[in-house]
Amino acid sequence: MAMKHRTIRGEILYTSHKPEIYGQVRGREFFTWTHHTDGRRTMRALCEIEEPEPTVLRDITFSLDANDRPTDCFVRLTVGDRFMGAGLFRIGEDFVECESFGPTLGRLSQRVPIDGPFDGFGTHPIAGDAYISKCLDLSKGPHQRQIRAFLPSSDHRGATPPMIAQSRIELEYVGEETVTVTAGTFDCRHYRFTDEKGGMATDKGAHPDYDMWVTADDDAIFVKGGVGGYMKTWYELVKLERD
């Protein structure tokens, strides 16, 4: 009997926009979305970041219910080719909980109340960044608002042991464009993350502006985008298969 779910598979190439290494490959991401007949969805992503050091290898399995509300996320993280930690996050009706372990963590158990509305769970893969854009109400046309998300690391590369963190960052819907990349030509929505109030500030400061173009359909697939500031990164969809 044939499987009933629908599958999307893709690859995103990471390159640098730093002048001294402009265009150099700095990593890649392989992602799969599984869309079930009851409306639930699961994203699996393998992310490899080669530059800057230390390298980051991240495995993510992330699921949402039929209303696009996050339900659970598993993270396994290797930094500098050393195991950093693994954790399982569960998002309940009014709480987020985490069970994780790692060399610097030992065994960690957390349970945090949600305390009000939130917009999603930031998983750190680029494919997940695109999907959280669905929280904006496009009937308002181009606009910006602050979004609230839980995430497994407040580090800009997600390169810290898995534990519950929160962020508040501005997300802007800029408009619609047709975009051509290695994987093809797509009708897209242009979004921009800005950290005007330092809601994702780390020891490197607020998160630099991050533009991304996402397919203008319910799949919300990342097509291209880049981060400015000290990061100077670029991302492009180079392969895409849809069942």
Q: List per-block mean pLDDT (blocks of 10 residues) for the chain, which spans 243 residues.
A: 92 97 97 97 98 96 97 98 98 98 96 97 96 97 96 92 95 98 98 82 77 98 95 96 93
At residue 98, the pLDDT reads 98
Contact 222, 14 (CB under 8 A): no
First CA to last CA across the chain, in angstroms? 16
What's the CA gap between 176 and 174, in Å, rounded?
7
CA 32 to chain centre: 13
pLDDT at residue 199, as a whole number: 59
At which residue do the structure tokens 């496009």 appear? 138
Kind and range of the H or E element at 126?
helix 126-131
User: The tokens 């990164």 sit on which residue?
Assistant: 233
pLDDT value at residue 195: 87
Q: Is the pTM of this model over 0.75?
A: yes
CB atoms within 10 A of CB 37: 8
Q: What is the distance of C-alpha 42 from the center of its chain?
A: 13
Which residue is associated with the tokens 């990471």?
14
What was the pLDDT predicted at 206? 80
Report the relative pairing of strands 120-121 and 143-151 from DSSP bridges: parallel
Instruction: List the beta bridge partners of residue 120.
Output: 149
Cα–Cα dist 230/222, whole Å:
22
Rounded to 10 degrees, the C-alpha dihedral 176/69/165/33 comes to -70
**Residue 51 pLDDT:** 94
pLDDT at 156: 85
The CA distance from 38 to 6, in Å, is: 11
pLDDT at 203: 62
Q: Report CA-CA distances (Å) from 38 to 62, 71, 163.
A: 16, 14, 30
